[in-house]
Amino acid sequence: MTPDTTLARLPVEFKVLFTGFLMVIGVGLLMAGLQIMLTHGMADGKVGLSVTDIVYSYYGNRSGSRLEFMLNGQMKAMAPDEARFELIEWARDGAPAQQWVSQIKPIVDQYCISCHNSDSALRDFTKLENLQKVAEVDQGASINTLTRVSHIHLFGIAFIFMFVGWIFAYAEFAEGWKVLLIATPFVFLLADIFSWWMTKFVPGFAWLTMIGGICYSLASTVMIFTSLTQMWLPRWTKRA
């Protein structure tokens, strides 16, 4: 393709190729948003993503354990109040091993093991040490987790933004705004990842996580819809 090629002038095979990619990426972004809402968005036990959710995810809810937090949030419907209260009290008492066989294990076997077992991808609660770990005060994401998730996001999402921006570069758009839109996802992706690390130590940086995610999502959405519109709508085809 030559530098003066526009999306409307592309051969149909390129339009189909680019459209397929943008459609899949668009659906992928929607699924990513849904996944965030179902994981981080429930961190405070309430539906919807908030700054508090982000603080709890990265800094932690240091007023209690992860076990208590989950039992009062996402897992609240999985056990009756009496069973949840007993588990929470055990965690607050320091998760003593001497209460495991007679008091805690029967509750875990009845309400937790169907999902939290050795055959599942979730933490195995048939082992006392695994349950004791989540009964500790919630310190948020670990450094190991942040390192792993950061490098995966930086490598993977950067490629997505590169190809979305590459396609959008052939759109008919005000040059200054075009450059800004192409650059925005990369800038705010870096800001987003940086904010995870800062929120781990300073909860106030959770706002930057919200801003980063919103900005690169909006910029990507504008580029995707603009590219699809200019490739297929008659108005743009006639201009070509």
Could you tell me the two tokens for 145?
A: 């987790």
172 with 6: CB under 8 angstroms? Answer: yes
pLDDT at 238: 56
How many angstroms separate the CA atoms of 98 and 163, rounded? 57
Length of the chain: 240
What was the pLDDT predicted at 3?
53
Residues 31, 59: Cα–Cα separation, whole Å = 25
**pLDDT tens-digit profile of 39-58?**
776 666 677 788 888 888 89
Per-residue model confidence as pLDDT tens digits over 108-136: 889 888 888 888 778 888 888 888 888 88
Query: What is the mean pLDDT, run by run of 10 residues, along the chain of 240 residues?
Result: 76 96 95 83 72 87 79 83 90 87 89 85 84 83 92 94 96 93 97 95 93 94 96 70
Position 1 scores a pLDDT of 55
Helix (H, G, I), strand (E, B) or coil at 137: strand
